[in-house]
Amino acid sequence: MNYNIIAFSGSLRKESYTTKLVKAFQQFAPQQMTVNYVEIGHLPFINQDLEANLPAAVLDLHETIAKADGVIFATPEYNRSYSPVLKNAIDWGSRPEGENKWKRKPVAIVGCTPYNLGAFGAQNHLRQSMMYLDMVPLQQPEFYLGKAAEKFDAAGKLTDETSIKKIIELWEAFAPLIAMHAEKK
Ligand SMILES: Cc1cc2nc3c(=O)[nH]c(=O)nc-3n(C[C@H](O)[C@H](O)[C@H](O)COP(=O)(O)O)c2cc1C
């Protein structure tokens, strides 16, 4: 059995640490977990007027979510919350009203920052939204990567052994959660 995991980065920055973190989750995924990175920078800004005739980018996002067995949200921290880019994608996935595409999807929340706290504030807010959207958040282990500038090499690869070990530990908990929910479908 192979599982389709969709992964989102909350940063559009070319040299984003958050996007590099997503690639590290891709690199260290167990064999049966295929991680597909989903671009979100081209989505229109959330606007209920668009719901009568949903833009193609939003319909594509809906289809991508519907096919997923699991989700990874990687977020930077913006003023102690998660980024508007990521929120925009999450909001579109929850619309129109009554058609929440995220419902019952297993989700892992991760984040990073060049500073110390590993995007704790961002992840905390994000977790609250996951609850409201009736997702199935992985509760432990949590994943905080601080001092990001020291942890990736010039090519963007994660080189910090402790962080790599934590990614592997997260997968060891997340993969069974994904498999269990896929069986119930
Ligand atoms: C609007 C804005 C607000 C920010 N607020 C925080 C913050 O609350 N906590 C933090 O650790 N870093 C904060 N930062 C710094 C980001 O962590 C840093 O720019 C980081 O590199 C962004 O993630 P990225 O590398 O994936 O783009 C903020 C950056 C921006 C642009």
User: So what's the pLDDT on residue 68?
Assistant: 98
- The pairing of strands 144-145 and 136-137 is unpaired
Map out the domains of the chain with their CATH numbers: 3-184 (3.40.50.360)
**Angle, alpha carbons 117-7-3 (nearest 5°):** 130
Indicate whether 173 pLDDT > 80. yes
User: So what's the pLDDT on residue 59?
Assistant: 98
Confidence bin at 177 (pLDDT 50/70/90): very high
Pocket probe mutation, ligand 1, options 79, 87, 120, max atoms within 8 Å of Cβ: 79
Cis peptide before 96, with omega less than 30 degrees from 0?
yes
Distance 82 CA to ligand 1 centre (A): 9
CB of 129 shorter than 6 A to ligand 1:
no
Residue 96 phi/psi, 5-degree rounding, is -65, 170
Q: How far is CA 75 from CA 8, 98, 111, 155, 170, in A?
A: 8, 26, 5, 20, 16
User: So what's the pLDDT on residue 2?
Assistant: 95
pLDDT in tens, 6-44: 999 999 999 999 999 999 999 999 999 999 999 999 999
Hey, what amino acid is at 61?
Answer: L
Indicate whether 185 pLDDT > 90. no
User: So what's the pLDDT on residue 183?
Assistant: 84
User: So what's the pLDDT on residue 104?
Assistant: 97
Distance 159 CA to ligand 1 centre (A): 21
16 within 8 A of 82, measured Cβ to Cβ: no
How far is residue 93's CA from residue 38's CA, in Å, rounded to a whole number?
13
CB of 115 shorter than 6 A to ligand 1:
yes
Q: How far is CA 140 from CA 26, 67, 98, 110, in A?
A: 19, 25, 29, 11
CB of 75 shorter than 6 A to ligand 1:
no
pLDDT in tens, 75-100: 999 999 999 999 999 999 999 999 99
Give first-to-last CA distance, the chain, whole Å.
14
CB of 114 shorter than 6 A to ligand 1:
yes
Confidence bin at 72 (pLDDT 50/70/90): very high
pLDDT in tens, 113-163: 999 988 999 999 999 999 999 999 999 999 999 999 999 999 999 999 999
Confidence bin at 184 (pLDDT 50/70/90): confident
Assessment of whether the complete model's pTM goes beyond 0.95? yes
